[in-house]
Amino acid sequence: MPPCSVFRRFLKGRGLKYTTERAEILDRVLAFDGHFEVDELVRSMQDRRRHVSKATVYRTIKLLQEAGIVAPSLHDGKQSRYQLAHGRSPRDWMVCVRTGRTVDFSSPELVELRDRICRELGWEPVGHRLEIYANSPEPGPDPSPETGDEPNG
């Protein structure tokens, strides 16, 4: 079922309307390839001459999450990031704690493990999110000159 149909049904079940603003926000979300921040979404709408308040975007993102259309992704300490989840296999990330570099990956074995654990506990799997923090092989930044400490240490 297309995301707009899923969202319409979800909203109807909550007694909410599928407004023009919500439709435009969903349209812009679907246009993103990969992760996005709410600020990027707002700018994207402004670039297309669409005025929607930041509060409306945040409320709509929350509804899209509850509907299973978007999911939170990496958090960089500043703002939450989101990604399209509807109709996509789970995506996971490795984050280098020294450089901040991220690697997006998908693992069928991880999905199998998730499903097995859910079955054993009598749960119905609907998705997952995994972030692995590690040190990548690339050299990291130099220690902070003020303290001599590692940036993330």
DSSP state of 112: H
The CATH fold assigned to 1-88 is Arc Repressor Mutant, subunit A (1.10.10)
- A 10 A CB-CB count for 138 gives 9
Residues 89, 92, 119, 121: is their CA dihedral positive or negative?
negative
pLDDT in tens, 7-47: 999 999 999 999 999 999 999 988 887 778 888 888 888 88
State the distance between the two ends of the chain, measured CA to CA, in whole angstroms. Answer: 46
Q: What is the pLDDT of residue 8?
A: 93
In the chain, domain spans: 1-88, 89-139
**Domain boundaries 89-139, corresponding CATH code:** 3.30.1490.190
pLDDT in tens, 43-85: 888 887 778 888 999 999 999 988 888 887 765 555 677 877 7
Q: What is the pLDDT of residue 22?
A: 93
Residue of 96, 95, 85 whose CA lies nearest to 127? 85
pTM: 0.63
